[in-house]
Amino acid sequence: MAVNFAQISASPQRLQQVFQTINAESCPRCFNFHMHTVHSDGRLQPEALIEQAIAIGLQGLAITDHHTVSGYKAAYQWLERWKLSNSHLKNSAPCLWSGVEINANLLGSEVHILGYAFDPAHPSLAPYIQRKATQGENYQAANVIAAIHQAGGLAVLAHPARYKRSHFDLIPAAAALGIDGVEAFYAYNNPNPWKPSPKETQQVQQLAAIYNLLNTCGSDTHGLNLLQRL
């Protein structure tokens, strides 16, 4: 029988509450909202990612593969089976939100927009989960943000200080389009152990406060270790 992901997705209201508590210590051992699997450009199988998340003790996470939710769906199904087999540990299982990373044009610069806690089956997201970047109107940041909202989700500007255009320009522009948050806590130079870059974090947080945006965090894992980017 097919799984109704519209019904089982963790709620955006709950996620918004979590985002309001995020700080520099949240990632990568309590929360992690930016990770990739073999379903896009990561090296982890979704099932291995969830196993590792449980071992780390993550409270909440999202798999944000590029332009696909197939990794999220596989991870969700594995996690539900794990809960059934480990009923005595069910309450310690992490909360898994739907997630995706979408390329978009903002101020003439290509940026990445993270979508969270949306209904993966909503038709507004169909152009964005075909395993490839979109073009034309669908490629515009305003339309990406609108599609995520129409699907009931939250939209976040990923790693704002990684683009050719300054985050001092991009964040106000994204806010004007209705984006919900920014990935404030991000390790731009891939330090080991993982920790958010102090200068960029402070700048992004200040801009988030000015424009009333949520702060999020994520390791942007592409390798085999959720505690590192690569």
pLDDT tens digits for 76-87? 999 999 999 988
Q: Do 228 and 197 meet the contact criterion of CB atoms below 8 Å apart?
A: no
Pair type for strands 60-62 and 214-217: unpaired
Q: Which long-range contacts (CB under 8 A, 24 or more apart) does 18-21 make?
A: 18/60, 19/154, 19/181, 19/214, 19/215, 19/216, 20/214
pLDDT tens digits for 51-64? 999 999 999 999 99
How do the domains of the chain map onto residue ranges? Answer: 25-217
The predicted model gives 188-211 an average pLDDT of: 96
Q: Token pair for residue 115?
A: 């979508």
Q: Residue 130: which region, alpha, beta or left (left: phi > 0; alpha: psi -120 to 50)?
A: alpha
Q: 215: closest CA among 172, 136, 156, 167? A: 156
Q: Do 228 and 194 meet the contact criterion of CB atoms below 8 Å apart?
A: yes
pLDDT band with cut points at 50, 70 and 90 for residue 230: confident
Q: Write down the mean pLDDT value for the chain.
A: 94
pLDDT band with cut points at 50, 70 and 90 for residue 6: very low
Question: Between vectors from CA 171 to CA 168 and to CA 175, what angle results, nearest 5°?
Answer: 140
Q: Is the pLDDT of residue 10 over 90?
A: no
pLDDT tens digits for 67-109? 999 999 999 999 999 999 988 876 789 999 999 999 999 999 9
What DSSP string describes the chain?
A: ----HHHHSPPHHHHHHHHTT--TTTTTTTEE--B-BTTTT-SB-HHHHHHHHHHHT-SEEE---BT--HHHHHHHHHHHHHHHHTGGGGGGSPEEE-EEEEEEEETTEEEEEEEES--TT-GGGGGGSSSS---GGGGBHHHHHHHHHHTT-EEEE-SGGGSSS-HHHHHHHHHHTT--EEEEE--TT--SS----HHHHHHHHHHHHHTT-EEEE---B-SS-TTS--
Q: Residue 214: which region, alpha, beta or left (left: phi > 0; alpha: psi -120 to 50)?
A: beta
pTM, 2 dp: 0.95
Residues in a beta bridge with 35: 221
pLDDT of residue 187: 97
Q: Was domain 25-217 assigned CATH 3.40.30.10?
A: no
pLDDT of residue 77: 96
pLDDT of residue 39: 98
Q: At 80, which amino acid appears?
A: E
